[in-house]
Amino acid sequence: MHYLSTRGDRTPRKFCDILLEGLAPDGGLYMPAHYPQIDAARLRALRAVYREQGYAALAFELLSLYIDDIPAPDLRRLCEKTYTPEVFGTRAITPLKKLGARRALGVESENAPQRGQFLPDSPPHSGAMGQEAGKKWAAAAHSQPTIPKSDRLLEDGFYLEELSNGPTLAFKDMAMQLLGNLFEYELARRGEALNILGATSGDTGSAAEYAMRGKRGIRVFMLSPHGRMSPFQQAQMFSLQDANIHNLAIEGVFDDCQDIVKAVSNDLDFKRRYRIGTVNSINWARLLAQVVYYFAGYFQATASESEKVSFSVPSGNFGNVCAGHVARMMGLPIDRLVVATNENDVLDEFFRTGVYRVRASRDTHETSSPSMDISKASNFERFIFDLLGRDGARVKALFQDALAQHGQFDLSADPAFAEVRARYGFVSGKSTHADRLATIRDVYARFGVTIDPHTADGVKVAREYVQPGVPMIVLETALPIKFAATIREALGHEPERPARFAGIENLPRRVQVLPAEVQRVKDYIAQHCDS
């Protein structure tokens, strides 16, 4: 497989090159030259692989379609090393949790996917939360009022896909754990080192730091918006004392951090001199790893290849749902891809109107789903590249020129815009603080399940798009403990805390506050690594 840039550079590159390179030299994002196609027979075979051999084997099968410069036995070993019950808490790695329908369907086990084949081997969140969660779950399930008749349709085939049972309690671990192992493998093979520059609104940062800490030849410089992450997220990152981890709190919002990452990456001399790489979803490897759990979710929610499912995805940087787009382009029978935003509704606005209008930092709201406080969605460029027939020159004109000059572009009159829903399956919606609280309360009251504020945004919007006969899978993107204040506000009690995070907020911190200036970040990097 070769990769090319969304902004027109068609120099063919291999996977391991773009893994280390991150952003393309022309400022674009890397995309595969084509999407390998999965027909019904192949999908059936993949279902059998997943059922009989598990998530790591499925990951290997899918990744091999895109990676032909790592020998197959090595790639398989990397997948097996990454996706283990020890790291992700359950044998299923991304179990589906059925919300409701127990009484409506008359089945026994609340937690077992009724159509799926890969039964979770544990109660919800047992990997991260332990026995207590399981007991509460069982108690709550038995004390539920009967689901009102009018809600049965709504709740039939309504699932959460658990993606947040990894080391840092957010879906980012799913890809970041693999990335850590891929980087280590490839750097050792080349005898090289890498300085990773990343931007986080709260979850990418800790996932990357936990995945890279102690790894030979890797340093991490992680930019975060000063004072805007939850106390738990700050503690997760800033309490790390490893010499190869550098936390830089930037006086700005997430978009300022991401802009700095791109500006540094676009200074090609600096990038080469200091061997700068990326771990954000601008790195194709992140997206590729995320494609796998769309397949795993599909296999659990369906019994045959003739069935379709929809996914609802809490969205900010458009990386997670873009992986769903890739899965759909490969032929996974996805009906709708529901883009759920918070009050920072740039993406919802585009999918409703055709106008993509990025917001300035001062217009980016500080919300109770803070990891989605993003107003410039990096991966959106990847979807527009596909939507516009992979016309790199046009994508460049929109993302490099129109956005810089006017802060927006308008595709409402373009015939392609009509295909957004009909051909690509995208729909969208928005969730506010009040929606979030109401959804957290509702899901807890009905099902005894506590969901985090981002997942709540996904559930709220998903409910607007449920269709009879099509399972709806909401991606659970974080665990509630990361956002305890909102859970307290919604439910009046503390979310459960995994024992390993007890007292994390009181640990000594290592963090440097810097203004949102590219040069200051470059100076810091130059001082802390050898050229």
Ligand X SMILES: Cc1ncc(COP(=O)(O)O)c(C=O)c1O
**Residues that are catalytic:** 172
According to the binding rule CB under 6 A, does residue 114 interact with ligand LJ64HWYM?
no
Nearest approach in angstroms of CB 412 to ligand X is 23
Among positions 355-384, residues that touch ligand LJ64HWYM (CB under 6 A) are: 371, 378
Report how far residue 287's alpha carbon sits from residue 201's, in angstroms, rounded to the nearest whole number: 18
According to the binding rule CB under 6 A, does residue 324 interact with ligand LJ64HWYM?
no
Among positions 430-459, residues that touch ligand X (CB under 6 A) are: 454
Provide the 10 A C-beta neighbour count for residue 239. Answer: 19
According to the binding rule CB under 6 A, does residue 371 interact with ligand X?
yes
Q: Which does 200 bind (CB under 5 to 8 A by kind): ligand LJ64HWYM, ligand X, none?
A: ligand LJ64HWYM
The alpha carbon dihedral of 167, 56, 288, 20 has a sign of positive
Sheet with 472-476, side-by-side order of all strands: 96-98, 158-162, 472-476, 309-314, 334-341, 426-430
Cβ proximity to ligand LJ64HWYM: between 56 and 289 the closer is 289
Cβ proximity to ligand X: between 63 and 372 the closer is 372
Among positions 476-505, residues that touch ligand X (CB under 6 A) are: 477-478
Q: Which stretch binds ligand X (CB under 6 A): 75-83, 296-304, 315-323, 417-425?
A: 315-323
- Given 302, 320, 342, 364, the residue binding ligand X (CB under 6 A): 320
Q: Which does 315 bind (CB under 5 to 8 A by kind): ligand LJ64HWYM, ligand X, none?
A: ligand X
Nearest approach in angstroms of CB 170 to ligand X is 5
Question: Can you read off the two tokens belonging to residue 497?
Answer: 């805390």
Q: What DSSP character marks residue 29?
A: -
Residue 198 φ/ψ, nearest 5 degrees: -130, 165
Report how far residue 338's alpha carbon sits from residue 471's, in angstroms, rounded to the nearest whole number: 13
Report how far residue 397's alpha carbon sits from residue 393's, in angstroms, rounded to the nearest whole number: 6
Cβ atoms 481, 497 nearer than 8 A: yes
- Given 177, 317, 375, 439, the residue binding ligand X (CB under 6 A): 317
Residue 252 three-state SS: coil
Tell me which H or E stretch contains 462.
helix 453-462
**Cα distances (Å, whole numbers) of residue 311 to 156, 157, 301, 353, 432:** 15, 12, 11, 21, 20
According to the binding rule CB under 6 A, does residue 209 interact with ligand LJ64HWYM?
no
**Maximum Cα–Cα distance across the chain:** 66
According to the binding rule CB under 6 A, does residue 205 interact with ligand LJ64HWYM?
yes
According to the binding rule CB under 6 A, does residue 203 interact with ligand LJ64HWYM?
yes
Residue of 480, 369, 388 lying closest to 434 (CA atoms):
369
Nearest approach in angstroms of CB 203 to ligand LJ64HWYM is 3
Mark 397-416 with x for binding to ligand LJ64HWYM (rule: CB under 6 A) and - for no binding: --------------------
According to the binding rule CB under 6 A, does residue 236 interact with ligand LJ64HWYM?
no
Residue 437 φ/ψ, nearest 5 degrees: -65, -45
Nearest approach in angstroms of CB 377 to ligand LJ64HWYM is 9
Phi-psi region of 193 (alpha: psi -120 to 50; beta: other; left: phi over 0): beta
- Given 15, 118, 183, 318, the residue binding ligand X (CB under 6 A): 318
Encoded amino acid at 172, one letter: K
Q: What DSSP character marks residue 143?
A: T
Q: Which does 478 bind (CB under 5 to 8 A by kind): ligand LJ64HWYM, ligand X, none?
A: ligand X
- Given 82, 94, 164, 280, the residue binding ligand LJ64HWYM (CB under 6 A): 280
Q: Which stretch binds ligand X (CB under 6 A): 7-15, 103-111, 309-317, 385-393?
A: 309-317
According to the binding rule CB under 6 A, does residue 230 interact with ligand X?
no
Ordered DSSP codes for 410-459: E-TTSGGGGHHHHTT-EEEEE--HHHHHHHHHHHHHHH-----HHHHHHH
- Given 155, 156, 203, 386, the residue binding ligand X (CB under 6 A): 203
Which residue is associated with the tokens 């829903």? 421
Q: Which stretch binds ligand X (CB under 6 A): 131-139, 311-319, 350-358, 520-528?
A: 311-319
Residue 478 φ/ψ, nearest 5 degrees: -160, 165
According to the binding rule CB under 6 A, does residue 202 interact with ligand LJ64HWYM?
yes
Report how far residue 9's alpha carbon sits from residue 24's, in angstroms, rounded to the nearest whole number: 8
Q: Which does 205 bind (CB under 5 to 8 A by kind): ligand LJ64HWYM, ligand X, none?
A: ligand LJ64HWYM
Say how many residues touch ligand LJ64HWYM, by CB under 6 A. Answer: 13
Residue of 269, 299, 264, 268 lying closest to 280 (CA atoms):
264
Among positions 292-321, residues that touch ligand LJ64HWYM (CB under 6 A) are: 316-317, 319
- Given 89, 205, 225, 319, the residue binding ligand X (CB under 6 A): 319
Which residue is associated with the tokens 């975060």? 224
Residues that bind ligand LJ64HWYM (CB under 6 A): 200-205, 280-281, 316-317, 319, 371, 378
Q: Which residues bind ligand X (CB under 6 A)?
A: 170, 202-203, 281, 314-320, 371-372, 454, 477-478
